[in-house]
Amino acid sequence: MKRLKSYNTDPWPARAYGFVMQAVEPFFSALQRRIGIKGMAYIFVAPNLIFFGLFVALPMALNVWYALSGSNRLLIQERPFIGLDNFRDLLDCESFLEVNSCRQDRFWRAVHNSVFFVALQVSVMVLLSVVAALLLNGKIRGRGFFRAVFFFPVLLSPVVVALIWKWTLQPDGLLNALIVWSGGERIAFLHNASWSFFWTVFVSVWSHMGFYTLILLAGLQAIPHELYEAAEIDGTSARRTFWRITMPLLLPTLLVVLILSLIRGVQAFEEVFILTGGGPGTATQYIVQYIYETAFANQVHLLGLAAAASLLVAVALMLLTLMQLRISYHGKDK
């Protein structure tokens, strides 16, 4: 109870907090007298549920209505019901592998780009994160420094990340200076489709890798030390220790990392949007950018089509999330 008395000498944020909370106390006391202690529990969850209902549950339901209705109007009562036409439109392809055979070729271009992007980005990032985590878990000098260095891009905003790299990659930028200095020709990185694709992958690995490294590090540190000591006493080789102890025990974490990065990869938008704007052409236009542009940025706002596309993405993400929950549940069982 000493702690409570010391409020008067507390710094100003604590005093401001106390002042506000005390000021509303009579209201909540009166409320409690009317509805009882049990009722107060509902009062405490109410604000959260209101926000949740208004900004998550309601939009989810509305999204279905958007996907099933036509026209470019935002207000739902002005939108005529057209059934599954939007989905039919999106899925109208002679071959799903040939983008130009689809009615909505921009959608399928974005899907194809996203699939390539996610496949490459996730595999490179998971591999590099594992290597980095293993190294940072070892006894190396300056470990704290290296950990901080690998982690800090995670905290930067996508806009800042994109601008850092846009500045480095521009025709007169640092990278071109290094290329010219070592005797090469300048490259217009962001005006070339293959280079642009490469850099979107590179930049998103750069900015998110630290996050997964950190999770893997936590997974590595959760492996009981006794196992390694026992292996050492038995004279087990480093290779065997790695494949028989480290890898099996890291596997649940690794799977979580894999699926988390898949989920995030599908949603890649912000860095790419600033770095390349989806260009050149549509070479780096990914699925979320397609949804954003179809719904808000193009001349005609095709809200129904965009909503249908976002529902398809939602289904994909939902499957991935369920897989993740299943895996983390299994991991905890063991």
Partner 1 sequence: MLIKALTRTRQKGSMSLTDWLSYGFLFLGVVLMFGPALWLGASSLKTKTALQEFPPSFLPMGQKEVRVAGRDTALPAYLITQPDGSSRELALSRRIGLVGFFIDPAQPVAEPVQLRMDQARPVREIALAWDNYTEPLERMRFDRFLGNSLFVTITATLLTLLVNSMCAFALSKYSFRGRNAIFVLVLSTLMVPVSVILIPSFLVITSLGLTNSLWGVILPPVATPTGVFLLRQYMLTIPDELIDAARMDGASEWRIYWRIIMPLAVPALAVLGIFSVMWRWNDFLWPLIVLNREEVFTLQLGLASFQGELDTQWHYLLAMTVMTLAPVVLIFLFLQKYITTGIASTGLK
Q: In the range 123-182, which residues lie near partner 1 by CB under 8 A?
A: 131-132, 134-135, 138-140, 146-160, 163-168, 172-174, 176-177, 180-181
- 8 Å CB contact between 213 and 132: yes
Instruction: Name, in order, each residue with C-beta under 8 angstroms of 229's C-beta and a sequence gap of 6 or more.
Output: none
- 8 Å CB contact between 311 and 264: no
Query: Cis omega (within 30 of 0) on the bond before 280?
Result: yes
Q: Which two tokens stand for residue 160?
A: 């800042």
By residue count, the chain amounts to 334
User: Shortest approach of partner 1 to residue 158 CB, angstroms?
Assistant: 6
Calpha distance 109→122 (Å, rounded): 20
Site for partner 1 in 81-110 (CB under 8 A): none
Q: Which residue, 120 or 161, has its beta carbon nearer to partner 1? A: 161
Residue 159 CA, distance from chain mean position:
15
Q: What is the DSSP letter of 97?
A: T
CA angle, residues 40, 45, 49, in degrees to nearest 5: 140
Q: Which of 103, 99, 110 is nearest to 285 (CA)?
A: 110
Considering CB under 8 A, how many residues would be counted as binding partner 1?
A: 106
Q: Which residue, 192 or 321, has its beta carbon nearer to partner 1? A: 321
Site for partner 1 in 53-82 (CB under 8 A): 54-56, 58-63, 65-66, 74-76
Binding residue (CB under 8 A) for partner 1 from 104, 129, 200, 246: 246
By the rule CB under 8 A, 256 interacts with partner 1: yes
User: Shortest approach of partner 1 to residue 85 CB, angstroms?
Assistant: 17
- 8 Å CB contact between 331 and 256: yes
Site for partner 1 in 177-236 (CB under 8 A): 177, 180-181, 206, 211, 214-215, 217-218
Q: Which residue, 101 or 171, has its beta carbon nearer to partner 1? A: 171
Q: Which residue, 77 or 97, has its beta carbon nearer to partner 1? A: 77
Q: Which residue, 15 or 101, has its beta carbon nearer to partner 1? A: 15
Site for partner 1 in 258-297 (CB under 8 A): 260, 263, 267, 269-270, 274, 277, 288, 291-292, 295-296
